[in-house]
Amino acid sequence: MDLIDAIKGRRSIRKYRPDPVSEEVLQKVMDALRWTPSWANTQCWEVIVVKDPRGKTELLEAVSETNPAFSSIMEAPLLLILCGKKGIAGYYKGQPRTVKGDWLMFDSGLAMQNLCLAAYALGLGTVIIGAFDHKKAEKILGLPQDVEVVAMTPLGYPASKGATPRRKEISEFVYYEKYRGK
Ligand SMILES: Cc1cc2nc3c(=O)[nH]c(=O)nc-3n(C[C@H](O)[C@H](O)[C@H](O)COP(=O)(O)O)c2cc1C
């Protein structure tokens, strides 16, 4: 699949078929994530694969029923939880290198995009879920202090296509030379 076509064609999928995702296909998605660029190649990400419906049911406690992706958590055969190790991305000798502090969210975001695009190229669907109780999820998943949950996504074969939300025009966010140009 052409990369530009994948970037433009990928949509958030909130309806899934129950068909299983093979370990081979999952590994392909994880391999694409593995090649994500990161701060000084620090690769702060970690992924928890939740397959057991009991584990997914437990995690539902951390997600509001009003979240549009709520039902997709149980529908899809897999739920991937993207985590990040704190104090690595953007740090040198234990000190943050920039005013931004930890670049964990940035590098994890790149990793999630690689995951979603690879999944799409393999005929799978994803929907990034960021609106949930992270602290509750961390407790349920048994995360240590130095790791945090960033986002999650179901992974499975789409039951229906996602709608295409409107994008801003390029002229609405690109400026030349200075902010807002002249
Ligand atoms: C950081 C982040 C958090 C998101 N959180 C949620 C969420 O909690 N629930 C949901 O249904 N969609 C969530 N989304 C999906 C967005 O709503 C979706 O990407 C956006 O509307 C554009 O649609 P598209 O992905 O189909 O292009 C999230 C996306 C991102 C990038």
Q: What is the mean pLDDT of the chain?
A: 97
pLDDT value at residue 11: 98
pLDDT value at residue 86: 98
With 0-12 CB in 10 A as exposed, 13-18 as middle and 19+ as buried, what is 86? Answer: middle
pLDDT value at residue 182: 62
Atom index in ligand 1 nearest the CA of residue 69 equals: 11
Q: Confirm or reject: Cβ of 18 under 6 Å from ligand 1.
A: no
Which of 14, 112, 116, 129 has the most ligand 1 atoms within 8 A of CB, as the residue to mutate? 129
| Cα torsion 170, 35, 25, 129: sign | negative
Q: Confirm or reject: Cβ of 128 under 6 Å from ligand 1.
A: yes
Place of tokens 């392909």: 28
Q: Confirm or reject: Cβ of 53 under 6 Å from ligand 1.
A: no
Q: How confident is the model at residue 181 (pLDDT cuts 50, 70, 90)?
A: confident
Alpha-carbon gap, residue 73 to 65, rounded angstroms:
11
Ligand 1: centre distance to CA 134 (Å) = 16
Which of 8, 11, 12 has the most ligand 1 atoms within 8 A of CB, as the residue to mutate? 12
pLDDT value at residue 137: 98
pLDDT value at residue 129: 98
Which tens digit of pLDDT belongs to each residue from 133-157?
A: 999 999 999 999 999 999 999 999 9
Which alpha helices (DSSP H) does 35-69 contain, by range? 53-60
Which tens digit of pLDDT belongs to each residue from 12-46?
A: 999 999 999 999 999 999 999 999 999 999 999 99
Which tens digit of pLDDT belongs to each residue from 57-110?
A: 999 999 999 999 999 999 999 999 999 999 999 999 999 999 999 999 999 999
**Mean pLDDT computed over 112-129:** 98
Token couple for 113: 């995009």
Q: Confirm or reject: Cβ of 130 under 6 Å from ligand 1.
A: yes
